[in-house]
A and B are shown apart, each in its own frame.
Chain A
Amino acid sequence: MPSPLVSFTGAHAPDRRDRVMCGDVGITTYEWGPVDGPPLLVVHGGFDFARTFDVFAPLLAAAGWRVVGFDQRGHGDSDHVELYSWDADIRDAMAVLDHVADGRPIPVVGHSKGGSMMVQLADAQPYRFSHLVNIDGIPYQRRIPDVAEHVRTKMMASEITAWLDHRRRTAGATRRPGTIDELAARRGRMNPRLSLEWLRYLVTVGAREDADGWRWKIDPSMRFGGFGPWRPEWTVLRLPGLPMPFLAVFGTEPEEMGWGTEPRSVLSYLPADGRAEILDGVGHFVHIERPHRVAELVLDVVGSPT
């Protein structure tokens, strides 16, 4: 892997990069650690990409794991396609699991949307998982309190209309170019707790440099937020039946990209072989703010091959 233009203490580019085909959709994978080590999958969140694990993954790799990450479709260096959906993302993850694990159960660590997706896959196909770690990826209830029904309906209307208007004009759209600092500042508005140095590093591994400036690689047709029939509390209802050792790691500081879940409200849903760690004073990107502590917690559950 080429060296990034901006360095960040503790960040290591992946040792290997590969391409997995999920049908005719190309998914880019990254690996840190020994090629002959036992595989461990890390799954990024929405609007992120695998290289956001550049600090966290090497800490697990140092313990002997062959850590495998992948860019979800439309993110990072994976294909931009016609359609995006939760189920399609889960299928793509299955293709990567088939590629790296060949049917054997392996440990999986998922952050945010990636964590919630893996809870659903672990419930549907538990044989793929030896352990499951969920980093701030358990949505709970997102009802807006003290709002009258007609106001709620109006909010839904404006959300859907904005989304449809976006769909009408998204053909041929490109992301706005900028300097490394400008893109870092834009990302910083959604991730106010992350340092500028980290955000600048992320730009150099998650954006591409065109003639007129840097652009985030994420598909411009994708849009933050959205609407639909999915209920956040459905993830938590899948937890109690999970058969594999399970660890949930929560941050407590609310952030725009987080689920807003109050950790204590989901503790009673943990599976029989499950535990939760709540890290006070940490935001949604728990593994980025406290990489060593989270790696330590993960290794405590999955063990160290070396």
Chain B
Amino acid sequence: MTVPVTQVVHNRVTLALHRLRDGDGRPLLLLHGLGESSPPSVPTWASAWVGPVAALDFTGHGASTIPRGGGYTAEILLADADAALGQLGEATVLGRGLGAYIALQLAGTRPEAVLGAVLADGPGLAGGATFPTSQSFFALPPAPVAPDPYALVELSRDLRPADYAAAFVRLAATGSRLEEPITVAAVHRPPWLVAVADEPGVAEASVADALRRYAGA
């Protein structure tokens, strides 16, 4: 069964926002991991959420536009998620892997609209080195289908310094009406996530418990 898809325009990219379950109340926005795409139905790991559920395909993933010549950054994906949030209004966000990092950034930059961000394990959680390296550059052939190889390369090595990540927690804690607007559910904790988990305003819980708590917020 196919679910309805809303097209979200982000500059020259058209993003696919899959409405996995419609209904009343605040929606849950799912952000997939690196190289993944939106699930075809509400996944079991998000089943604790009883309200509407939407899932976004990031640029270069799933049914969203594949850009020419790469140029991916986590911040561009943040703007993808922000464009989706603009369609949904207030939402709780659940991110896997790379999507967890984007969920954190979204919670920090739109603290009044994001009522809880849950950071879960998934592909692309770690990011790259956070110091200068001699990491090389190479061109890739154009991608006929998603995921875009440039996305896989560039977003697996983008910079996620711990203090930069922690700043998004402080922004969320300052602007949110929730006492704990971020919940870390991930078992794997790269340095940026260790720093996030240490900040005031961050809870640690399973995905299911976090969703139940934010549903009542």
A156/B139 in contact, CB under 8 A = no
Q: Is B68 an interface residue (CB 8 A)?
A: yes
A124/B134 in contact, CB under 8 A = yes
B137/A24 in contact, CB under 8 A = no
CB distance from A94 to the nearest CB of B (A): 6
CB distance from B82 to the nearest CB of A (A): 5
Task: Report which of B76, B138, B167 forms a contact with A83, defined as CB distance below 8 A.
Answer: B76
Give the bracket for the number of chain B residues in contact with chain A: 35 or more
Q: Within A17-48, which residues are at the interface with B (CB < 8 Å)?
A: 22-25
CA A125 – CA B73 in complex, angstroms? 22
B142/A23 in contact, CB under 8 A = yes
Please judge, given known A-B contacts A164-B79, A167-B83, A168-B86, whether A91 and B171 are in contact too, CB under 8 Å: no
A168/B167 in contact, CB under 8 A = no
Q: Within B72-119, which residues are at the interface with A (CB < 8 Å)?
A: 72-76, 78-79, 82-83, 86, 108-110
Give the bracket for the number of chain A residues in contact with chain B: 35 or more
CB distance from A230 to the nearest CB of B (A): 6
Please judge, given known A-B contacts A160-B109, A167-B82, A227-B75, whether A91 and B11 are in contact too, CB under 8 Å: no
A81/B137 in contact, CB under 8 A = no
Task: Report which of A91, A125, A228, A237 forms a contact with B75, defined as CB distance below 8 A.
Answer: A228
Q: Is A195 an interface residue (CB 8 A)?
A: no
A123/B71 in contact, CB under 8 A = no
Task: Report which of B12, B109, B134, B174 forms a contact with A221, defined as CB distance below 8 A.
Answer: B12
Q: Within B109-132, which residues are at the interface with A (CB < 8 Å)?
A: 109-110, 130-132
Q: Is B10 an interface residue (CB 8 A)?
A: yes
A81/B136 in contact, CB under 8 A = no
B137/A94 in contact, CB under 8 A = yes
Task: Report which of B110, B140, B142, B167 forms a contact with A153, defined as CB distance below 8 A.
Answer: B167
**Which chain A residues lie closer than 8 Å to B71 at the CB level?**
73, 81-85, 87-88
**Which chain A residues lie closer than 8 Å to B72 at the CB level?**
83, 85
Q: Within A71-95, which residues are at the interface with B (CB < 8 Å)?
A: 73, 79-85, 87-88, 90-92, 94-95
Of A121, A160, A231, the most chain B CB neighbours within 10 A belong to A160
A88/B86 in contact, CB under 8 A = no
A25/B10 in contact, CB under 8 A = no
Q: Within B34-81, which residues are at the interface with A (CB < 8 Å)?
A: 59, 65, 67-76, 78-79
B59/A83 in contact, CB under 8 A = yes
Nearest-CB residue, chain A, relative to B76: A83
CB distance from A98 to the nearest CB of B (A): 9
Measured CB to CB, the residues of B under 8 A from A are 9-13, 59, 65, 67-76, 78-79, 82-83, 86, 108-110, 130-132, 134-142, 154, 158-161, 164, 167, 170-171, 174-175
A-B CB proximity, top 8 nearest: A83-B71, A82-B67, A88-B71, A25-B69, A167-B79, A229-B159, A85-B71, A234-B132
Q: Is A170 an interface residue (CB 8 A)?
A: yes
CA A221 – CA B9 in complex, angstroms? 13
CB distance from A41 to the nearest CB of B (A): 16
A82/B175 in contact, CB under 8 A = no
**Which chain A residues lie closer than 8 Å to B59 at the CB level?**
82-83
CB<8 Å pairs between A and B, sample of 14: A23-B139, A83-B59, A83-B69, A85-B71, A85-B73, A85-B154, A92-B69, A125-B136, A154-B174, A168-B83, A228-B159, A229-B130, A229-B159, A229-B161
**Which chain A residues lie closer than 8 Å to B110 at the CB level?**
161, 164
B11/A167 in contact, CB under 8 A = yes
B136/A230 in contact, CB under 8 A = no
Q: Is A190 an interface residue (CB 8 A)?
A: no
